[in-house]
Amino acid sequence: MNPVSRRHFIQTTIGAAGAGLVQANWASPIARPKVKPIQGSWISIWWDDRRHGHWNDSCLKFTTKQWKLTIKEMADLGFEYLVLLAIAKGGYAFYDTPRLPKLNLACEDPIEALLAASDRYGVKFFISSDWYGPWDEKCLTDPERIRQRFAMMGEIAQKYGHHRSFYGWYWPNEAHLGPYYSDAFIRHVNECSREGRRLLPKTKTLTAPFGTYRAVYDDTYVRQLEQMDVDIIAYQDEVGCLRMTPEQSAVAYEKLRRAHDRVPQRALWADVEVFTWEGPPNQPGSPLIPAPFQRVRKQLEAVSPFVDRVLIYQYQGLMNKPGSKAFAGHPDSTRLYQEYTRWLRKV
């Protein structure tokens, strides 16, 4: 099986900061509550995949006001961090650039709308570095792809870097734990982090590996954590992708916690998958739909003892405030929202 991320898996096959644990505004092992709430989510402007079919068309038609309302509703739910999945996809950019044609969107500048609303509501945004071209192995090593990636990062930094909500960069060409990272991936992350900090020196950096079910705690993995220049690693819990049960994910994250405790400059976050499948699981044409909250609750319980923050993949399309004027997704998304908010009030 090719080592593709879950984000790419949501497109083709299976699978989608300097702040250490000692910093006061990041959770420490001592301060971890028994069950953490959701503290953030991935979000997409558009994704060229039928698995996003329940919300793709709606998001293409979102106005500036609707994008801003989306941020407000997530902030009202207590979300502090958002991760933009892509700045371009399928040969189209989501902002004005000479490098690619612009996607036909109802909102003239959705990235600006997202960041402006995040400024207002106190949300911290990680902005993606890609995609200039298709996801493939060349994206890590091809000199032209690297040049174009860095050029687009420069455009993004110049155009949006003034926003105080531009908190960090997200490296979406994610690794497959096999159970170790490839040398090419470590080099890719280090090059991206160096460029990101050159453009915006105060930004944090984040990536979200898959293959978490193969996690190990040993000296080799610890050495790789030491070598990899990234502030936050938000491991995919892979429960939605059916690689692990919540109980198995607890075992994997416990191993990762032990490794990260030896390299505390790499914060350990969870990327919890709150989706299931409308059709056959793990098939390219099968749309994602909200998972039952009973399962999501077990996922939160499983990772909470071991991670510093819990993000989800993803609020958009899978959770919606009832009656929202920025509704995008499956009708059952309101049920997941309501069941989560009822649980949140209790804990």
Asked if the model's pLDDT at residue 31 lies above 80, the reply is: no
- Asked whether the predicted pLDDT for residue 20 surpasses 50, the reply is no
Helix axes 219-227, 183-199, angle to 10 degrees: 30
pLDDT of residue 136: 73
> Residue 342 and residue 60: Cα distance in Å, rounded?
31
The pLDDT of 208-214, averaged and rounded, is 96
Among 25-29, 177-181, 253-257, 301-305, the least confident range: 25-29
- Nearest-CA neighbor of 300 among 22, 51, 38? 38
So what's the pLDDT on residue 33?
52
Write down the mean pLDDT value for the chain.
Answer: 90
Terminal Cα-to-Cα distance of the chain (whole angstroms): 41
Which of 22-26, 68-72, 285-289 reaches the highest mean pLDDT?
68-72
Is the pLDDT confidence value at 310 over 80? yes
pLDDT at residue 21, rounded to an integer: 32
Average pLDDT over residues 267-272: 98
Q: Give 242's contacts (C-beta < 8 A, 6+ positions apart).
A: 281, 282
Per-residue pLDDT at 13: 37
The pLDDT of residue 25 is: 35
As a whole number of angstroms, the distance between CA 212 and CA 306 comes to 14
Looking at residue 280, its pLDDT comes to 87
The pLDDT value recorded for residue 344 is 95
Given this model, what pLDDT does residue 192 score?
A: 96
- pLDDT the model gives residue 1: 34
Average pLDDT over residues 295-307: 98
- The answer to whether residue 137 scores a pLDDT higher than 60 is yes
- pLDDT score for 11: 40
Report the CATH fold assignment for 6-14+32-346: TIM Barrel (3.20.20)
Average pLDDT (337-345) is 97
Q: Which amino acid, residue 22?
A: V
Query: What percent of the chain is modeled with pLDDT above 70?
Result: 90
Would the pLDDT of 29 be above 80? no
